[in-house]
Amino acid sequence: MTNLPPRKMQSKAEVDSGDMLSKLPGDIQACNGDRLSELPADVLLNILERVGTLDAVRTCILSKRMHRLPTMLSQIVIDLSPRDLFQKSDVVADVTNKILSRRPPQITIRKLKLKFVLSPPCCHSIGKSVGLAMATHKFDAAEFEILTPKDSHICTDDHRVLFADQFNNFVRDYPDAFAGLTRLHLRNMSFGESDIPNILRYCKVLESLSFFMCGAGISSVLHVEHTRLTELVISYCEFKRVELSCLPKLQRVTFGNWTCGCSKKSNWPCDKSPLILGFVPQLSKLSLPQACLSRKTLNLSQLLANVPTVSDLYLEFRSEKVWIRPECPKVLAPVLTQLRSVSLDNLPEECDISWTMFLLEAAPSVEDLCITVWDHKCRKESQKSRSRKMDVHWEPSDPDFKHKNLARLTIYGFQSDDNFIGYVRRVIQAAANIREVSLHDRKDWSIVKTYDYINRVVITLPLTVYEDVSPIWRGIEFGLELLKKRLIWRVGNGRSIKIRRDQWVPRKRGLKMTNFIRRTRLRWANQLMLPGEREWSVPLIHQLFYPFNAETICNIKIPLVEIEDCITRHYEKSGNFSVKSAYRLAAQPMKRTIEVFGISFGKQKLPQKSGSLMENCYRYFGN
């Protein structure tokens, strides 16, 4: 008898995997279950484009056939978190070098984005590989985000000078790598006064430039001139003044965390603005976040004297002094002719917000106004101690003033006092075409929306009611919620009515259409009508809805002439709400069960305040 070699014992995992493979089709078993490598190259590339570059490289290591695919990617994005980046800085340089050095020159690089640490070995490798690729390949976009070995909170002035010298050497040693750069992000560097203009000369096609915790000394002036730059971001930087001399394509400017005043710690003089806008004919968005001018106010008419093209304005006050001066609309109007959106962030609680009306009077094209009032509890005491410094001296607006374009008003940090309620009423009266008013306690709290049919305005209110809310405001919220339940859309042209979400089907119970026979992608009510006619498409409706719902829809009369859809009160002959009808319904005797605005009450008396709730709601939004 022949002696057989001892049989190798298989582990349970191997037995289970073998059993699973035996159940797979034969073509999958032939390639040992690896169907990814059997896909066409273009399909594989499409899959790899959707994951990170480092993940794509790891995936392609497993197969010889896929080994060259990373060199064919149209997007090369290496964007690690700072923690991973400090641990893998050499990996970033190595992967970049291997991908770019072996890449076919005929394949265009649509996007190159590299985040790396400023260190001589890493900069040498990346500068060399990117510089060679810039000379031999076509780039649509290239971006460098450079981190320093020291974080911002532990970086000293000496460190910033050292990092700036290292970066200047990097630019001088590898000019080809910066010649095709379109976006550049720098941080924690202290430059000489001529360094930044020299860097901009090397970056000939640069479109976006960002500085964070950079500077050239508190007595320095930053002059920026570039023919291609479209975006400039300056945050937490030390410059005496920033002068945007000649930037013909600049569209967006963010100048954040700047101070101006006469205090000892101030970086800016009292007689000049820290930001000078020169020749910037295409500037459309200006953001001034976290600004603090300790002893002076700024005139927008002077700041924007050369840029009447701004359409989006963001101003931040850090809950301290209101550092812009309310101006006469006739003086300010020439520079705000194209303004469409205004955001005023972190206004102090103690300040009367009615002064912001001067912006509406001076900017007739504004469509969106957003106001945030500071309400941070941990700084409340300090806010009270500075309340006297927050008074804004301004002339009240014209009582007959009307604004034709304002469509949306949003207030965060809303409170039920005369300051806010009077302001909202004043804006609604002035804005003839306003469509939405959103009132929030916080930016991240849940909200509820309802419709004020009197002014045709969508009202957005906080959903949560807290114990410290005043009874008047609690009544307004409750009344609006009751009103919302019996509002119904009247069909006009059907373009504003959503089939699934809106209340538009006149029935005793449930005004929304929720039951469908089959799925449909139709969204608007006008899609249920015959094309070009003022009639329902009866066959289509019967295909989508159950018979009882289909008959109800087909019985809805469509106006012979095209008119807009409108919201009215259900079960009211006139379709309008009146305080008299609310009192009548609230005062009806409770024999069995009655329904008031969609809320059923059994054999119990209505609260005596029900009428006052409705009246408060009407007074608040109707007057």
| Per-residue confidence (pLDDT) for residue 572, from 0 to 100 | 64
The conformational region for residue 597 under phi > 0 = left, psi -120 to 50 = alpha, else beta, is left
Report the distance separating Cα 422 and Cα 415, nearest Å.
Answer: 11
List, in order, residues 6 or more apart from 300 with CB less than 8 Å away: 324, 325, 327, 332, 335, 336
Interval 194-243: pLDDT, tens: 899 999 999 999 999 999 999 887 778 899 999 999 999 999 888 888 99
Report the distance separating Cα 518 and Cα 515, nearest Å.
Answer: 9
Report the distance separating Cα 129 and Cα 99, nearest Å.
Answer: 9
| Per-residue confidence (pLDDT) for residue 10, from 0 to 100 | 47
What is the band of 15 on the pLDDT scale with cuts at 50, 70, 90?
A: very low
The rounded percent of the chain whose pLDDT value lies above 90 is: 31
List, in order, residues 6 or more apart from 43 with CB less than 8 Å away: none
Distances (CA, A) of 371 to 347, 349, 374, 392, 424: 8, 12, 10, 16, 11
Highest mean pLDDT among 42-46, 568-572, 619-623: 42-46
| Per-residue confidence (pLDDT) for residue 46, from 0 to 100 | 80
| Per-residue confidence (pLDDT) for residue 442, from 0 to 100 | 62
CA dihedral 372, 465, 458, 319 (to 10 degrees): -10
**pLDDT (mean) for 327-343:** 92
Interval 248-273: pLDDT, tens: 999 999 998 765 444 444 444 445 67
Q: Smallest Cα–Cα separation from 216: which of 155, 286, 267, 282?
A: 267
527 versus 482: which is more confidently predicted? 527
Distances (CA, A) of 215 to 137, 209, 386, 474: 34, 14, 31, 51
Instruction: Confirm if 213 and 155 have CB atoms less than 8 A apart.
Output: yes
Q: Smallest Cα–Cα separation from 412: which of 365, 455, 339, 462?
A: 462
Say which DSSP state 160 is in.
H
| Per-residue confidence (pLDDT) for residue 443, from 0 to 100 | 53
Interval 580-601: pLDDT, tens: 555 554 444 433 333 333 333 3
| Per-residue confidence (pLDDT) for residue 473, from 0 to 100 | 65
Report the distance separating Cα 587 and Cα 347, nearest Å.
Answer: 44
Instruction: Confirm if 237 and 259 have CB atoms less than 8 A apart.
Output: no
Mean pLDDT (the chain, rounded):
77
H/E element holding 594?
strand 594-596
- Look-up of token digits 């007739």: 364
Q: Between β-strands 594-596 and 142-147, what pairing exists: parallel, antiparallel or unpaired?
A: unpaired
Q: Smallest Cα–Cα separation from 149: which of 133, 167, 129?
A: 167
Report the distance separating Cα 460 and Cα 438, nearest Å.
Answer: 4
102 versus 170: which is more confidently predicted? 170
Per-domain residue ranges of the chain: 297-387+403-464, 487-622
3-state secondary structure of 469: coil
| Per-residue confidence (pLDDT) for residue 612, from 0 to 100 | 43
Report the distance separating Cα 301 and Cα 336, nearest Å.
Answer: 9
3-state secondary structure of 367: coil
Residue 4 has pLDDT above 80, yes or no: no
Tokens of 24: 């797979």
Residue 462 has pLDDT above 60, yes or no: no
| Per-residue confidence (pLDDT) for residue 595, from 0 to 100 | 33
Interval 431-457: pLDDT, tens: 988 988 888 876 544 455 555 544 555
Distances (CA, A) of 456 to 174, 407, 566: 62, 11, 9
Strands in 91-250 per DSSP E: 111-117, 142-147, 183-187, 208-212, 221-225, 231-235, 241-246
Tokens of 439: 């009132």
What is the band of 12 on the pLDDT scale with cuts at 50, 70, 90?
A: very low
Distances (CA, A) of 620 to 404, 614, 623: 22, 10, 6
| Per-residue confidence (pLDDT) for residue 214, from 0 to 100 | 92
CA dihedral 506, 508, 511, 512 (to 10 degrees): -110
Report the distance separating Cα 526 and Cα 532, nearest Å.
Answer: 10
**Residue ranges of the alpha helices (H) in 69-156?**
82-87, 89-101, 120-136
Report the first-to-last Cα separation within the chain, whole angstroms.
109
Please state the length of the chain.
623
Rounded to 5 degrees, what angle do the CA atoms 160, 162, 164 make? 70
Report the distance separating Cα 594 and Cα 588, nearest Å.
Answer: 8
Q: Smallest Cα–Cα separation from 372: which of 396, 360, 356?
A: 356
Distances (CA, A) of 244 to 232, 268, 278: 10, 17, 5
What is the band of 44 on the pLDDT scale with cuts at 50, 70, 90?
A: confident
Tokens of 110: 């649509």
Rounded to 5 degrees, what angle do the CA atoms 596, 602, 606 make? 55
Handedness of CA 145, 148, 149, 153 (dihedral sign): negative
Q: What pTM, to 2 d.p., does this model score? A: 0.66
